[in-house]
Structure 1
Amino acid sequence: MDISDRVDGAHTTPSPCGRYLAYVQDTRLRVSTLSAPERHSNEFNIKKLPKEILSIIWSHDSNRLATVSHTLIEVLNVSDASSRVRLDNGGGGLGHFSSAVFLDTDHLLTIWEFGRGRIWNLTTGRSTEIGEVKTTCSGSSYCMRPNPSRHPSNILATLFRVAAEDVLSIHFVEQSKSMPKATLPSADAQDLSWSPDGRWLAVLDTPTASVNVLFYTPDGHFYRSYTDTSCVDDRGLGIKAIVWSYDCRKVALARYDGGVVLLNTKSFTILASIAHNTAIEHSALEPPHQAPIWREHVSATNERTYSLATHPVSPPLSRSKASTEPSELGVAEMSFSCSGEYLATRDERMQSTVWIWSTQTLSTHAIIIQHANIRSVQWHPTHPELLLLDCGESILYILEVTSSSPPLPITVPIPGTPALTWLNTTIIQPLTILAATKSASRLLFPSGRPTNASPSNNQPSPIPGAETPFDEDTSEDSIMDLLSGRPARSRRSEQSYTERIDSEENAAEETVRLDDTFRAKRRPLEVSAEVDPLDDSQIF
């Protein structure tokens, strides 16, 4: 495994494309490539100190990024340092900025602390008022329709609260127009989410409502509801969270009683019900159908090993007594692999245990019992068989679910307890993990750093620029072989590094001639023609 040098900076945020890192040092926002994070390639002066910044956000195409603070939002163009937009909160008549999100490259949604929402056109400088966004949700009160290649129109769905009623609004971002608002039959909507293919819109109601989940078509028409009649929780709580599979064939509903319900996305009927039992007993099943249970052991020298447990097994409980807080009941976390073939879940009662379910066979695939409570479970964005476990001990665990091997522990050499995150690398790029604390970060390359990223190089990769692709023939080898250091298979001959760079530069030049988004199309900012007399915020 290769490890980058320590990068001192706050709010380290990777780009959606998986090529760049952005972080703040003093009053400078720096951007570096993942192949050489120790050497920043671009640097921008900003007005706010790291302690004043709430977050750094990227546009979906990784061309713009913004720093968000309570009083100022600065939007920068990664490829054009002279292009800069500042949204000043003025006298703060609407309260502080609470959040901001890119709807696309040229449109930014800002939300004030009291719910007022506004969409800014970063090219023309105009803005559109969208009303009072609901601020009492436990989940998200707004979301963009995904899959823009299939659905060219940028559509924003938003929840409002008007006269004690939930209202759904469908807004066309580029046209600055909205469809007629629809009043929802919900008691107190808590979350709004699109299916990954953009065909369905789900509204999650308060867990005490009789009807828990509402499904709508993209134009805001009601299609079907789901009522959780099988809930056995004596508190009367229903659905806690909703997660869509990436193949858009299933949707998982997490319940407060510790169960999970799988629905198909054609008729939204039940496929299977999952229960997290405090005693795991598969002895009655045939050996091929018994899920392996891996238990971690820690020696006096802090050496981590795993053993296969025999049935029955009782995972350790997280608490000595039952909790009465709704946030500490039921399913703690659940997520689908990028192929939708596997579902990983955790129960609040047994936070050191992760269950892995097969959505193809609708059965338990494997169970992992860690020594410490698990902080997060993450599937790789493009490798459907790789799962990362973070227990908050500066040790990352990588599990290849298609193999018969236990998780592989890897020590993270950074002080504190860094948060571990997969970066969005493709199948042919090397695996990359971001380990970040509040003031520093490092990149981990379990299968080796890209070949052109040697620390001895004097020049960092340009931004934007093409990274050297990882040898695609390594995908034929087991990923766990690469992580554990076992020898890989021989690779066939291919183009030299110089030949690849030449061909990539030629392709890039042709692309720029066809569509130069940030130079040929950039227009000077205009003063907004739509001015709210109560709004003293400014864009300049």
Structure 2
Amino acid sequence: MLTCLDALFTPRLHQCSIFNNDNSPSMEMSEIITGAHAVASPCGSYVASLSAAKLRISSTWTPERYTHINIRPVKDVTALKWSQDSNRLAILSPQHVEVVCLDDAHHRVRLDNGSGGLGRFASVDFVGADHLLVIWEFGKAKLWSLSEGKGVELADVKTVTGGQAWQIRPGHTTATSQVLAILTRQGSDDLLNIYFPHLHKQLSSTKLSTVDAQSISWSPDGRWLTVLDTPTAPSSVHIFTPDGHLFRTYPSSTDSSTMSLGIKSAIWSSDSRVLALTRHDSRILLLNTRTFAPLAIIEHSTTIDQRSSPPDQQSPIWQESVTASGQRSYIPVSHPVSPPLSKPKSTADPADFGIAEARFNCTGSHLATRDERMLNTVWIWDMSSLVAHAVLIQHSNVRRLRWHPTRPDMLLLDCGERIPYIFSIASAQPPTPFEANMPFNLTFTWAETPATSNLAFLAISKTTLRIMYPEGQPSPNDEEGTTAPQANPPNTVFDEGNSDDSLFDVLSGRKPLPPKTEPSYTERIDWEVETEEENSLVRVDDTFREKRRKSVQKAPATSMILDPLDDSEIF
């Protein structure tokens, strides 16, 4: 049921100063919003969170306007997942998956795990707009069609990997053109499977020469596919054509003996022109994606010294300092400089050595990297000149880097101190810190707003969130492609049974919200369903209520061979 309830509190935007002096930068932010598993929609216009068995969908720009969606009572919700078109939202729990369609308030899909003979639901993801990939904790996986209510088993999917075991081919958004590449394992062999979800048909299955394949990734243009093997394998990276034919392995058999460990990760540039292979020896190999020949090798030296270069060609180095009163500032550091080394770890895990993180910006023009030996230092490399653009030495270790999805000059740094930093590579200024004013362990993530829009990012804890606007909150007329919602009129609700408006119409404030004079259609149906369930063993769900009632006396015909342990159902 969709309902715009009265706010328990009235979120307001207020100015928050970072420092105590008059020239300090300031930003706007929402009040703290109660809600777990907060996640922004791919379109950047909405933020979803879960609170008190209700799904809250807020506008990114005016979070005081929101819509509550009643969901079936579930325990231990583990994640919320948006579809790529921002039209559907999946609520994952160990025994249930519920899918809410945001532009059709009456359409619900619910997947029941039955007796749980295959274990708990471990993950759920949208595959395109009409399919749902569900993986159980014991390795079982099914691809469910949301329109047909049918599931197709994907046998032997690799569920324990170091990265993503499946991915939709980029650039193919229509249902009839979607291609799913997925890793499976039969016995001791890894297989690469190319699958067409709309046809429920597998194109090919290629046996891999890998020891234990860890992840799969398409190039952003969809022309190449990489499979990453365990770092102890002789050849760690395998490059395939879209139809599953092997094109190249790296390192090859002739040069694999020169490396003690293989590749740690493979990262495509956003323009698909470069493939970056991070290694355990703190170097990054850049490959040209036309021939996959080496372009350059990036090295992270413990001493940065560019005195041999002209002063105007030396990379700026900014080092953060923090006073006893908590004031933060940056000073330019002259060459040479040795960043402080991270505390040594007493582990032999290969993942704790080499490159910690490498990320391209949205145009592929710059690459931001971190090294495990110097976790408080961020290198930013210019891909056109293949030299360092800037070096940032933080007071604390950097936990993660996030480039803005649409603005290539904006980099977000999370140092685990409840203080996000924003660095613009287009300016000559150091990073700007912003205080979130939340007494929790926070993570920060961008909202994917248009490139012409003001910046917005989320500060997320386990049970709360706050939306932050470093450049201020724009007015509704300033936003392109989205209408910023206005504040809810007092004492009004949205009744899904008496309005033709979709959720997006409600959030956008295009029409006044009608007063609620009687229980909504969904409320009445829910009461009827609860009464029926008390007197019958037949399970009925919101999605296909009428269809289910007409067919409960007749068992559905199927040609599939059912797993005796699999009694999951989709409604």
Range class of TM-score, shorter chain: 0.7 to 0.9
Residues 426-480 of structure 1, C-alpha deviations (whole Å, 9 max, x = no match): 0222210100100100000111113146986648997314999xxxxxxxxxxxx
Q: How big is the shift at 1:531?
A: 5.2
The aligned length equals 486
Amino acid at match of 1:118: K
- Residue 41 of structure 1 is matched in structure 2 by 67
Match of 1:418 in 2: 442
After superposition, the Cα gap between the structure-2 partners of 1:55 and 1:398, relative to the gap in structure 1 and judged at 3 Å, is same
User: Structure 1's 313 and 164: CA in aligned 2 closer, same or farther, altered over 3 A?
Assistant: same
Task: For 1:183 and 1:454, locate their aligned partners in 2 and report how far apart those are by CA, in whole Å.
Answer: 52
**One-letter code of the match for 2:199?**
Q
1:6 corresponds, among 29, 32, 47, to 32
Relative distance call for 1:533 and 1:467 in structure 2 (3 A) is closer
Q: CA shift at 1:533, angstroms?
A: 3.6
Say whether the 8 Å CA contact 1:99–1:111 is kept in structure 2: yes
SS of match in other structure, 2:153:
strand
* CA deviation string 1:212-255 (max 9, x = no partner): 1111111111111110748876xx21101111111010111110
Choose the corresponding residue for 1:202, options 197, 216, 226: 226
Q: Which amino acid aligns with 1:37?
A: P
Contact 1:125–1:528 at 8 Å: present in 2 too? no
CA contact (8 A) 1:44 1:81 kept: no
Is the aligned partner of 1:342 residue 2:358? no
**What SS is found at the alignment partner of 2:312?**
helix
For residues 249 and 557 of structure 2, what CA distance do their matches in structure 1 show?
41
Residue 204 of structure 2 aligns to a residue whose secondary structure is coil
For residues 98 and 131 of structure 2, the distance between their equivalents in structure 1, rounded to whole angstroms, comes to 13
For residue 21 of structure 1, what is the aligned residue in structure 2?
47
| Match of residue 139, structure 1, among 163, 177, 182 | 163
Q: Which of 122, 126, 140 in structure 2 is aligned with 1:102?
A: 126
Within 5 Å, which residues of 2 pair with 1:459-478? Answer: 463-465=503-505
State the TM-score, normalized to the length of structure 1: 0.85
Q: Could you tell me how far apart the structure 2 residues matched to 1:46 and 1:309 are?
A: 57
Compared CA separation, residues 307 and 169, structure 1 to 2 (3 A): same
Preserved contact between residue 443 and residue 460 of structure 2 (Cα < 8 Å):
yes
**TM alignment of 1:501-516, pairs within 5 A:** none
- What is the aligned-residue identity percentage? 43
Does 2:562 align with 1:532? yes
Q: Return the alpha-carbon distance in structure 1 between the equivalents of residues 507 and 56 of structure 2.
A: 19
The answer as to whether partners of 2:181 and 2:194 remain within 8 angstroms in 1 is: yes
Aligned equivalent of 1:118: 142
Mapping of residues 176-215 of structure 1, within 5 Å: 176-215=200-239
Q: 1:327 aligns with which of 337, 341, 351?
A: 351
Question: Normalized against structure 2, the TM-score is what?
Answer: 0.81
How far is the alpha carbon of 1:25 from its aligned partner?
A: 0.8
Query: Could you say if the C-alpha distance between residues 334 and 467 of structure 1 is closer, same or farther in structure 2, counting changes exceeding 3 Å?
Result: farther
State how far apart, in whole Å, the 1-side matches of 2:187 and 2:85 are. Answer: 38
CA-CA distance at 1:6 after TM superposition: 1.2
Q: What SS does the corresponding residue of 1:179 show, helix, strand or coil?
A: strand
CA deviations over 1:141-198 (Å, ceiling 9, x no partner) = 1111111249951111111111201111100000100013110111211111111111
Alignment partners' CA distance in 1, 2:60 and 2:262: 43
Match of 1:464, SS state, is helix
State the 1:136 CA deviation.
2.9
Per the TM alignment, residue 323 of structure 1 is displaced from its structure 2 partner at its CA by 4.4
Counterpart in the other structure of 1:364 = 388
Aligned pair partner of 2:324 in 285, 300, 310: 300
Task: Write out aligned runs for 1:17-96 (5 A).
Answer: 17-49=43-75, 52-96=76-120
Contact 1:127 1:528 in 2 (8 A): no
Per mean C-alpha deviation after superposition, the further-off stretch among 410-419 and 98-107 is 410-419
Instruction: Mark the runs of 5 or more structure 1 residues left unpaired by the alignment.
Output: 469-497, 503-521
Task: Give the deviation of 1:19 after TM superposition.
Answer: 0.8
| 8 Å Cα contact 1:33-1:463 kept in structure 2 | no
> 2: distance between equivalents of 1:98 and 1:112?
5
Match among 366, 379, 384 for residue 355 of structure 1: 379
CA distance in 2, matches of 1:14, 1:320: 36
- The answer as to whether partners of 1:35 and 1:467 remain within 8 angstroms in 2 is no
Between the aligned partners of 1:327 and 1:75, the Cα distance in structure 2 is 36
Deviates more, 1:526-535 or 1:329-338: 526-535
